[in-house]
Amino acid sequence: YERVARAYEKILARLSLGDISVRTFASGGSFSQYSHEYQTLCDAGEDEIYLCKQCNIAVNQELIKEQNVCPQCNNNQLEKKRAIEVGNIFKLKTKFSNACQLTYKAGDGHGKPVFMGCYGFGPSRVMGTLVEIFHDEKGLIWPAAVAPYKYHLLNLSKNDKVKLTADEIYRELSKKEEVLYNDRQDISPGEKLAEADLIGLPYRLVVSDKTHGQLEFKKRNENKTQLRNLKELF
């Protein structure tokens, strides 16, 4: 049970959600006193939780009347927050293994009922949560761990020589990284730049008449741009 809990915490950390996700005590139903939810703090969330900032542990609103202090440190100064549930774990104990006569052979040679748990993690919920948290007025800002591509390469020129340079950069970069290449000639440079912001890949690379064989490098979550050589990306 605790190994799964730690695995969830590692997953959320890799998704850049670790610092804003909390293990939350919720109703255990007919199985146990508590279940545990993984709630990501977000103003757009449907759930209300009460957070202990000392322990980074929370209590779901459904439980707050009977559990109005932190279950870990007994702090009664809990802060109300909105959140999105992205995962949950709870102990089924032996309720179903007894009913199904599901046993294992213990060290003493006797059969004992299997102790069961239930573990849920919502990829679609996580995707929606990432969109709610990592965006601005221009579009998405994908964390690198979940971005469909690392680089978004744009050719803003109709010059044949510049196009050859952009094509070569794409070929070389694709050998080592995942690259989305926008070389369409039927839309304007402004449209390409706006699309890149909307899609929100971590790094934008621009080749144009002004870059003179180099790349204009920009992080999606920053405003500054830099001219770089291809080798400087690795």
Mean pLDDT of the region 9-22:
96
Q: Distance between CA 192 and CA 216 in Å, rounded?
A: 14
pLDDT at 32 over 90: no
Last residue of a domain, one of 103, 133, 163: 133
Q: Distance between CA 99 and CA 36 in Å, rounded?
A: 24
Residues 128 and 172 in one domain: no
Would 142 be classed as within a structural domain? no
Check residue 47 and give left, alpha or beta (phi > 0: left; psi -120 to 50: alpha): beta
pLDDT tens for residues 156-172?
999 999 999 999 999 99
pLDDT tens for residues 195-233?
999 999 999 999 999 999 899 999 999 999 999 998 887
The two tokens of residue 175 are 């050998």
Note whether 154 and 207 are within 8 A (CB): yes
Q: Distance between CA 182 and CA 201 in Å, rounded?
A: 13
Residues 117 and 167 in one domain: no
pLDDT at 217: 97
Residues 14 and 120 in one domain: yes
Do strands 47-52 and 79-93 pair parallel, antiparallel, or not at all (unpaired)?
Answer: antiparallel
Would 6 be classed as within a structural domain? yes
Residues 17 and 125 in one domain: yes
Q: Give the chain's mean pLDDT.
A: 95
| Residue ranges of E strands in 109-233 | 111-113, 116-121, 135-136, 139-140, 151-155, 179-182, 203-207, 215-219, 226-228
Residues 69 and 127 in one domain: yes
pLDDT at 233: 79
- The domain tally of the chain equals 2
Residues 20 and 83 in one domain: yes
Q: Distance between CA 58 and CA 23 in Å, rounded?
A: 6
Would 169 be classed as within a structural domain? yes
Residues 93 and 163 in one domain: no
Residues 67 and 158 in one domain: no
Q: Domain limits at 108?
A: 2-133
Residues 218 and 189 in one domain: yes
pLDDT at 29: 78
H helices present in the chain, as ranges: 2-14, 95-100, 123-133, 160-174, 189-199
- pTM of the predicted protein model: 0.85
Q: Tokens 């929370």 sit at which residue?
A: 58
pLDDT tens for residues 75-119?
999 999 999 999 999 999 999 999 999 999 999 999 999 999 999
The two tokens of residue 62 are 């459904």
Residues 18 and 122 in one domain: yes
Residues 73 and 99 in one domain: yes
Would 146 be classed as within a structural domain? no
Do strands 151-155 and 116-121 pair parallel, antiparallel, or not at all (unpaired)?
Answer: unpaired
Residues 17 and 71 in one domain: yes
Last residue of a domain, one of 102, 133, 164: 133
Mean pLDDT of the region 49-67:
95
165: CATH: 3.40.50.800
Mean pLDDT of the region 31-51:
94
Would 140 be classed as within a structural domain? no
What DSSP element (H or E) covers 59?
Answer: strand 57-60
Would 143 be classed as within a structural domain? no
Whole-angstrom Cα Rg for the chain: 25
pLDDT at 232: 84
